[in-house]
Amino acid sequence: MVEIELDGQKVEVLEGSMVMHAAEKAGTYIPHFCYHKKLSIAANCRMCLVDVEKAPKPMPACATPVTQGMIVRTKSDKAIKAQQSVMEFLLINHPLDCPICDQGGECQLQDLAVGYGGSGSRYEEEKRVVFHKDVGPLVSMQEMSRCIHCTRCVRFGQEVAGVMELGMSHRGEHAEIETFVGQSVDSELSGNMIDICPVGALTSKPFRYSARTWELSRRKSIAPHDSSGANLVVQVKNNEVLRVVPLENEEVNECWIADRDRFSYEALNSADRLRAPMIKQGGEWKEVDWQTALEYVANGLNQISKDHGASSIGALVSPHSTLEELHLASTLVRSLGSDNIDYRLRNAEFAKVEGVRYLGTSIASLTQLQRVLVVGSNLRKDHPLFAQRIRQAQRNGAQVNIITSKALFSAADAWAMAVAHADVQEASGWTQSLANVAAAVAAEKGVSAPAQGHATPEAQAIAKSLLGGDRKAVLLGNAAAHHANASSLLSLAKWIADQTGATYGYLTEAANTVGAQWAKAEPQSGGLNAAQMLAGGLKAVLLLNTEPVEDAAAGAKAATALAAMQMVVTLSPFKTNMSFSDVLLPIAPFTETSGSFVNAEGRLQSFHAVVKPLAETRPAWKVLRVLANMLGLPQLAFETSQDVLKQISATPLNLSNACSFEVRLAGHVDTPCVASIYQLDSLVRRAPSLQLTADARNANESAKAFAEGVHA
């Protein structure tokens, strides 16, 4: 530790720290633009100049290392005058367009100009003009004349997103931030550049000119897409969600969010929203009141139960639904006398497990890993925030090893991080590849392998990597979870992890995959699984927040099976499943209901509604409670969602990846069903800006080509 004096206060900081870090620890604010706690130090802006005793001139606080006994003054005349001079320089070329700037009200330059700027400028020359740029549907670079060349966006791309999409060309007054030869910004984390830009150079294209920041109410929420459980601030005006930004939580998402968390709110205000209950009569959809719709459903379920037995009724539920909704759906189905409920629509294997499958470690620990093996994942696109953490680990020397397919790892830079060893195989070969790694580990340790494997050069390289280092993890991705031989992959991952001292677990797919297991939204005693339900055999099914054609491994075949049923009830915020549904019930998306999600590490996070439900929309937990009441099921008589959570919490969350499955080195298996980044759930599928991104366009083209090939 090194002790310095800062404005008369003694401060102890780690050796190698900068004066800025000491100031942060002491709670002293030093004005700055280019410095950001999560990025490397550039010292471009010089706004953080401070007075260091015995130094011949003011020194930048962000780039001046502390020394024992150093005396620093941040408020002396020398420091203030230096900061004022820098501000004068920065304002020479800055346009006078605050009244129309989207950054107005939350602009660092604006704030510091008040404190350090002069009432006039000594410079009378014409201000420079930088030509606007079109870099894609999410980030606006229409007013690059505002740029102060802090290079935060450039460093973010290189260091956090892993992709250098922006760079600075030319020098001096002619310097510009731009993409390479007219390319677009396509990173799945690109929206964070908007947040870290200290001026109005980079702004949100979908939000542009929608509202002033001081007109917005700010409410906390949780991201409903992937399993990171990112903390959000949802900004609202006139009961309409207009913007979503990150809420800092170092243990979960740090200060970042993925683009799908940021821009999916567009779907909430889309024309596709279901505003009132609807019933299909004579092939025509008609709006009805809630009483009529629920009576229709209750009478239909009672009749089908009477005619065909309760086991002919089932429910397909989404792991993007809240914990409370999933628990009530599960309780409702079982109260009717059925065990047919499942959230695993994309799975190909449905082995019975004892514990709740999860990440196997904390999310924060991913940043500290020294060795990692990822199996069956497109890490960067499936879990952008997890990828970001592993990228930081790799930058600090960690070795990243992968076993995945060519489609999920198309090139050496596909994950925007350096990969130490890659065994690229089609899904049929993953079990054998993992068995080969196990065989190589067994040979190194002198123990017997769990399955017949061959210590191939790739397997030996991965094994040698995993046997080194201290902090290690074996992580199974979405494709591994949905694999036809998923239980064998888990057994092999467990064996390898046990032998190498690593943790092991799943990069769980959805916001509430862990919660769905806790809520027992899967068969417990011989009920039909999702694949069996979608293969026919049911007479009635409840579809909770899911679109089986898009969300299920069965794809278009699901529509045929559902159309053959006597009653299909869809609970969704959107007009969907209309070709095979009989009833549509409008339920609230995550912004219009209270609820809870359990993220990949098993962290329970609850949230409140941020806006009132749209039109006749109702929270799903209320709809299920009232439906149960009409069916004469007293088990669901809850007054609030908190009461539902209390009942769930009475059963401990048994997080465990333990398994004792026999390893099967299966032959050919179908390619696992994995959703692309902007097709994961009903919200992102309806967000116009996200559907204009390169990732969405490529996925749609691939799906179209596949469909044409199937029909050819």
Q: What percent of the chain has pLDDT over 70?
A: 99
Residue 488 CA to its chain's centroid (Å): 28
The answer to whether residue 62 scores a pLDDT higher than 80 is yes
Range with the lowest mean pLDDT among 211-215, 408-412, 526-530, 595-599? 408-412
pLDDT in tens, 394-424: 999 999 999 999 999 987 788 999 999 999 9
Q: Rounded to the nearest 5°, which phi and psi values hold at 158?
A: -70, -45
Confidence band, pLDDT 50/70/90 cuts, at residue 706: low
The answer to whether residue 709 scores a pLDDT higher than 60 is no
**How does strand 203-204 pair with strand 139-141?**
antiparallel
Transcribe 470-535 into DSSP letters: SSEEEEE-HHHHTSTTHHHHHHHHHHHHHHHT-EEEE--SSTTHHHHHHTT-S-SSS---HHHHHT
Confidence band, pLDDT 50/70/90 cuts, at residue 552: very high
pLDDT in tens, 75-101: 999 999 999 999 999 999 899 889 999
The answer to whether residue 212 scores a pLDDT higher than 90 is yes
| pTM given for the model | 0.95
The answer to whether residue 712 scores a pLDDT higher than 60 is no
For residues 674-686, average pLDDT: 95
The answer to whether residue 472 scores a pLDDT higher than 80 is yes
Please tell me the number of Cα atoms within 13 Å of 13 on its side-chain side: 24
The answer to whether residue 566 scores a pLDDT higher than 90 is yes
Confidence band, pLDDT 50/70/90 cuts, at residue 556: very high
The answer to whether residue 184 scores a pLDDT higher than 70 is yes
Residue 33: how many CB atoms within 10 A of its CB? 26
Q: Rounded to the nearest 5°, which phi and psi values hold at 141?
A: -120, 45
The answer to whether residue 271 scores a pLDDT higher than 60 is yes
Where in 96-229 does DSSP place strands (E)?
133-134, 139-141, 166-169, 176-179, 203-204, 217-222
The answer to whether residue 501 scores a pLDDT higher than 80 is yes
Mean pLDDT over each residue of the chain, to the nearest integer: 94
Confidence band, pLDDT 50/70/90 cuts, at residue 668: confident
* Alpha carbon separation from 441 to 372, 373, 663 (Å, rounded): 15, 13, 16
pLDDT score recorded for residue 257: 97
For residues 551-570, average pLDDT: 95
The answer to whether residue 615 scores a pLDDT higher than 70 is yes
Confidence band, pLDDT 50/70/90 cuts, at residue 705: confident
pLDDT score recorded for residue 173: 82
pLDDT score recorded for residue 665: 87
The answer to whether residue 188 scores a pLDDT higher than 70 is yes
Q: DSSP label at 203? A: E
The answer to whether residue 299 scores a pLDDT higher than 60 is yes
pLDDT in tens, 445-465: 999 999 999 999 999 999 999
For residues 132-136, average pLDDT: 91
Closest CA to 349 of 486, 549, 526: 486
The answer to whether residue 710 scores a pLDDT higher than 70 is no
